[in-house]
C-alpha cells in the first residue's frame, strides 16, 4: 500500500512539475486533431493512434504504407490536397505526397527545422548542416556552398575513377567464377572510400580490408539511429538506456568522432607545412590542387571562427550523408538495368561510342557525354529515391487548401509518392528511362521529382552524387554485362534512413 501511495504521489508531482508543458501539449493536441479531421488517413484510437495497425515485419510494413498512400494520397489528389494523416501514438504526422503540397513545405524559408526524432543524430553529427536550423543553418549553408562549386568537384573525378578501378578488380573475380554476387556491400565500400578521400582527404582502403573499426561504427550508427526513429518507445530515455542501445550508440559515436578528430589534426599539420593555412583560398589553389572538403574548411577556419568540433561535425555529416545514399542509387540503377537488357544495351552503345577501345578512366568531358546513363540513374532515383522520407517540423501555421496545419506539427514529404503520380509519369510503376527525355522533363512540375529534396534545404552534394554515379556506372558497364537475379518488385526496397533492397543486389556478371 505504501508503494502504491508513493507511486501515485510521484505521478502527481511529475504532473505538477510539468503542468505548463502538459497544458501546451493539450492545446497543440486539440488544434492538431481539428486540422487532421479534415485529412484522410488510417483509423486511429485515442492515445495509441494508428500504432496498433502498424505491421511489425518491415516488409509487410512497406506494403501497408504503399496501400495507405494509394488510398489516401493519390486516389483523389484534388480532394485530398495530396495529404494523409497518421497518428504515431499520441503524435500526429501529416504526409505530403503530391507536388502541390510538397512545394508549400519545401519552398518555405521558415519550415526548415528537422523534427525532434532526428535529435538522436545530434550526439554523433553535432550541429552539422543536417541538424542545424533557422539562421544557424542559413549561415552554415552559405559558408559551405562554395566547397561544392563545379571547379572544386571536377578535381574529384580522378578519385572516382581510381576507386571504381579497385571495385572492378573485385567484380572481375566474381565474373571469372560465374557466381551470383550481392554487389551492394561492394558498392557501399567503394562509395565510402570515395567520400573519405574527397571529404576527409584520407584513404580508408575499405575495399581492400574490411575490418576497420571506423567503418563498422559508421554502419552501426545508421542502423541504431533508424531503430530509434522507427520505434517510439525508444524515445523514452529509461527504455533507451535499458535496451542496451544507448551504451552501444555512445561507444560507436566515440569511435567515429575520435577517428575524424585524428584526421583533422593530420590534415592541419600537412596544410601548415605547405603554408596553406595563411590568407584566403585563391583560385589558383582551387584550380591546381585536389582539396578535400576538410582542407577547405581548415583554410576557412580562422576567417569564419569555426571550432574544431564544428569542423568535425561537418565532416561526419558528409561521411554519413555521402556514403550509403549514392551507393543505394548506384546499386538500384545497376539492378534495374540488369533486368532490362534492352535499356542496358543502349548503355553499352553509349559507352562504346564515348570510349571505343580506350581503357582510360572517365574524364569530365566523358561524363558530360553520358546522356543515356544519366537518364537511367535518374529513373532509378525516381523509382527508389535513396532518402525516402524528408521530414520537417512546422515553425508556423501553414495553409494547405482549406486545412491549416498548426506549428509544431511533424510533416513528412514523400518523394516516392510524388514520383508515382500518374498525372506526370507515363509508366509510374515501371523502370522507363524515357521519362527523362528532354521534352518530358520540361513539361513536368519540378516538385514531382525530388530525390535530392527541393527548395532552400535541398541536397548540397547533388552535383557530386551525379558525377560519382555516372563515372562508376560507366566503368562497370564498360567491362560487364549484368544480369539481375531478383526482379522488380520482388526485391522490396526497405524505407530506412537510406532506402535499401530487402534482398541485396544479387547479380551475375559477364565479361564484355
> Three cell numbers at 169?
578488380
Look up cell 565479361; give the residue. Answer: 511
Residues 6+ apart with CB under 8 A from 80: 39, 40, 72, 73
- Minimum mean pLDDT range among 121-125, 148-152, 349-353, 368-372: 148-152
| Predicted local distance difference test score (pLDDT) of residue 6 | 47
389 belongs to a structural domain:
yes
Rg (CA), the chain: 24
> Residue 4 pLDDT more than 70?
no
Torsion over CA of 362, 469, 382 and 113, rounded to 10 degrees? -130
> Residue 18 pLDDT more than 90?
no
DSSP label at residue 492: P
**Angle in degrees, CA 317, 321, 322, rounded to 5:** 110
pLDDT confidence tier of residue 285, bands split at 50, 70 and 90: low
For residues 467 and 153, give the distance between their C-alpha atoms in angstroms, rounded to a whole number. 8
Q: Select the more confidently predicted residue: 71 or 253.
A: 253
- Minimum mean pLDDT range among 78-82, 134-138, 199-203: 78-82
What are phi and psi for residue 167, nearest 5 degrees?
-60, -45
Residue 120 near residue 225 (C-beta atoms within 8 A): yes
| Predicted local distance difference test score (pLDDT) of residue 3 | 53
| Predicted local distance difference test score (pLDDT) of residue 168 | 97
List 481's β-bridge partners, or say none: 510
> Three cell numbers at 330?
548506384
| Predicted local distance difference test score (pLDDT) of residue 476 | 98
| Predicted local distance difference test score (pLDDT) of residue 159 | 95
274 belongs to a structural domain:
yes
39 belongs to a structural domain:
no
Give percent of the chain with pLDDT exceeding 70.
Answer: 91
Mean predicted confidence (pLDDT) in 167-182: 94
Largest CA distance in the chain: 86
Q: Select the more confidently predicted residue: 340 or 119.
A: 340
Q: Distance between terminal CA atoms of the chain? A: 80
**Total tally of structural domains belonging to the chain:** 1
> Residue 5 pLDDT more than 60?
no
Q: What are the start-end ranges of the E strands in 345-409?
A: 390-393, 398-400, 403-405
> Residue 128 pLDDT more than 70?
yes
Residue 303 near residue 277 (C-beta atoms within 8 A): no
Establish how many alpha carbons lie within 13 A of residue 371's alpha carbon, considering only the half-sphere containing its beta carbon: 7
42: left (phi over 0), alpha (psi -120 to 50) or beta: beta
66 belongs to a structural domain:
no
> Three cell numbers at 500?
535499401
| Predicted local distance difference test score (pLDDT) of residue 355 | 95
- Minimum mean pLDDT range among 11-25, 82-96, 310-324, 420-434: 11-25
Q: What is the CATH number of the domain that holds 494?
A: 1.10.630.10
| Predicted local distance difference test score (pLDDT) of residue 64 | 87
pLDDT confidence tier of residue 177, bands split at 50, 70 and 90: very high
Mean predicted confidence (pLDDT) in 279-299: 73
Residues of each annotated binding site:
459
Mean predicted confidence (pLDDT) in 446-468: 93
> Residue 7 pLDDT more than 50?
no
Residues 6+ apart with CB under 8 A from 241: 247
How would DSSP label each residue in 215-260? Answer: HHHHHHHHHHHHHHHH-GGGGSHHHHHHTSHHHHHHHHHHHHHHHH
The residue among 400, 388, 441 whose CA lies nearest residue 103 is: 400
Mean predicted confidence (pLDDT) in 155-184: 95
> Residue 430 pLDDT more than 90?
yes
**Helix, strand, coil share of the chain (percent; to 5):** 60, 10, 30
The listed range with the strongest mean pLDDT (61-65, 177-181, 401-405, 480-484) is 480-484
472 belongs to a structural domain:
yes
Q: Select the more confidently predicted residue: 291 or 419.
A: 419
SS3 at position 400: strand
Range of the domain at 497: 97-511
What are phi and psi for residue 271, nearest 5 degrees?
-70, -35
| Predicted local distance difference test score (pLDDT) of residue 485 | 93
List 398's β-bridge partners, or say none: 405
Per residue, the 3-state secondary structure of 493-508, as one string, reads EEECCCEEECCCCEEE
235 belongs to a structural domain:
yes
> Three cell numbers at 424?
506526370
Mean predicted confidence (pLDDT) in 63-79: 79
Mean predicted confidence (pLDDT) in 397-425: 90
The residue among 309, 297, 325, 316 whose CA lies nearest residue 386 is: 325
> Residue 282 pLDDT more than 70?
no
Q: What is the mean pLDDT of the chain?
A: 87
For residues 132 and 189, give the distance between their C-alpha atoms in angstroms, rounded to a whole number. 28
> Residue 431 pLDDT more than 70?
yes
**Angle in degrees, CA 488, 219, 325, rounded to 5:** 50
| Predicted local distance difference test score (pLDDT) of residue 9 | 47
Residues of each annotated binding site for heme:
459
372-387: per-residue pLDDT in tens?
999 999 999 999 999 9
- Minimum mean pLDDT range among 138-147, 173-182, 279-288, 428-437: 279-288
The residue among 495, 492, 480 whose CA lies nearest residue 183 is: 480
> Residue 11 pLDDT more than 70?
no
| Predicted local distance difference test score (pLDDT) of residue 337 | 98
Q: Select the more confidently predicted residue: 210 or 402.
A: 402
> Residue 444 pLDDT more than 70?
yes
29-42: per-residue pLDDT in tens?
778 888 888 888 99
> Residue 310 pLDDT more than 50?
yes
Residue 302 near residue 333 (C-beta atoms within 8 A): no
- Minimum mean pLDDT range among 151-155, 286-290, 422-426, 476-480: 286-290
> Residue 56 pLDDT more than 60?
yes
Residue 413 near residue 398 (C-beta atoms within 8 A): no
17 belongs to a structural domain:
no
365 belongs to a structural domain:
yes
Amino acid at each position: 500500500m505504501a508503494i502504491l501511495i508513493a507511486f501515485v504521489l510521484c505521478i502527481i508531482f511529475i504532473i505538477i512539475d510539468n503542468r505548463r508543458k502538459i497544458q501546451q501539449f493539450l492545446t497543440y493536441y486539440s488544434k492538431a486533431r481539428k486540422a487532421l479531421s479534415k485529412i484522410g488517413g488510417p483509423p486511429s484510437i485515442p492515445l495509441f493512434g494508428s500504432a496498433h495497425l502498424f505491421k511489425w515485419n518491415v516488409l509487410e510494413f512497406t506494403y501497408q504504407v504503399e496501400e495507405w498512400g494509394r488510398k489516401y494520397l493519390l486516389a483523389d489528389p484534388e480532394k485530398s490536397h495530396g495529404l494523409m494523416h497518421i497518428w504515431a501514438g499520441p503524435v500526429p504526422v501529416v504526409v505530403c505526397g503530391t507536388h502541390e503540397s510538397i512545394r508549400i513545405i519545401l519552398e518555405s524559408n521558415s519550415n526548415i527545422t528537422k523534427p525532434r526524432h532526428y535529435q538522436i543524430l545530434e550526439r554523433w553529427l553535432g550541429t552539422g548542416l543536417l541538424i542545424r536550423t533557422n539562421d544557424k543553418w542559413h549561415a552554415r549553408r552559405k559558408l559551405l556552398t562554395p566547397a561544392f562549386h563545379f571547379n572544386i568537384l571536377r578535381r574529384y573525378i580522378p578519385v572516382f575513377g581510381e576507386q571504381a578501378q579497385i571495385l572492378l578488380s573485385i567484380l572481375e573475380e566474381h565474373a571469372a567464377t560465374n557466381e551470383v554476387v550481392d554487389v551492394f556491400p561492394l558498392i557501399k565500400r567503394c562509395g565510402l572510400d570515395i567520400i573519405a578521400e574527397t571529404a576527409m582527404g584520407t584513404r580508408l582502403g575499405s575495399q581492400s580490408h574490411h575490418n576497420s573499426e571506423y567503418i563498422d561504427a559508421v554502419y552501426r550508427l545508421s542502423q541504431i539511429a533508424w531503430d530509434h526513429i522507427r520505434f517510439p518507445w525508444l524515445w523514452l530515455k529509461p527504455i533507451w538506456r535499458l535496451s542496451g542501445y544507448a551504451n552501444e550508440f555512445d561507444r560507436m559515436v566515440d569511435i567515429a568522432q575520435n577517428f575524424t578528430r585524428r584526421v583533422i589534426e593530420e590534415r592541419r599539420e600537412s596544410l601548415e607545412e605547405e603554408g596553406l593555412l595563411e590568407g584566403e583560398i585563391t583560385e589558383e589553389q582551387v584550380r591546381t590542387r585536389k582539396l578535400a572538403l576538410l582542407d577547405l574548411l581548415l583554410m576557412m577556419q580562422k576567417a569564419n571562427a569555426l571550432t574544431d568540433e564544428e569542423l568535425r561535425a561537418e565532416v561526419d555529416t558528409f561521411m554519413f550523408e555521402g556514403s550509403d545514399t549514392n551507393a543505394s542509387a548506384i546499386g538500384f540503377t545497376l539492378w534495374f538495368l540488369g533486368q532490362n537488357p534492352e535499356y542496358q544495351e543502349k548503355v553499352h552503345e553509349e559507352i562504346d561510342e564515348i570510349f571505343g577501345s580506350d581503357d582510360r578512366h572517365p574524364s569530365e568531358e566523358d561524363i558530360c557525354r553520358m546522356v543515356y546513363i544519366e537518364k537511367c540513374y535518374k529513373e532509378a532515383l525516381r523509382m527508389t529515391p535513396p532518402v525516402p522520407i524528408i521530414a520537417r517540423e512546422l515553425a508556423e501555421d501553414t495553409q494547405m487548401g482549406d486545412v491549416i496545419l498548426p506549428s509544431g506539427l511533424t510533416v513528412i514529404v514523400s518523394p516516392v509518392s510524388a514520383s508515382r503520380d500518374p498525372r506526370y509519369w507515363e509508366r509510374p510503376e515501371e523502370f522507363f528511362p524515357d521519362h527523362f527525355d528532354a521534352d518530358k522533363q520540361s513539361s513536368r512540375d519540378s516538385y514531382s521529382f525530388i530525390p535530392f529534396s527541393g527548395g532552400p534545404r535541398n541536397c548540397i552534394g547533388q552535383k557530386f552524387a551525379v558525377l560519382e554515379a555516372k563515372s562508376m556506372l560507366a566503368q562497370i558497364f564498360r567491362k560487364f554485362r549484368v544480369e539481375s537475379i531478383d526482379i522488380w518488385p520482388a526485391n522490396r526496397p526497405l524505407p530506412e534512413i537510406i532506402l535499401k533492397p530487402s534482398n541485396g543486389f544479387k547479380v551475375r556478371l559477364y565479361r564484355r
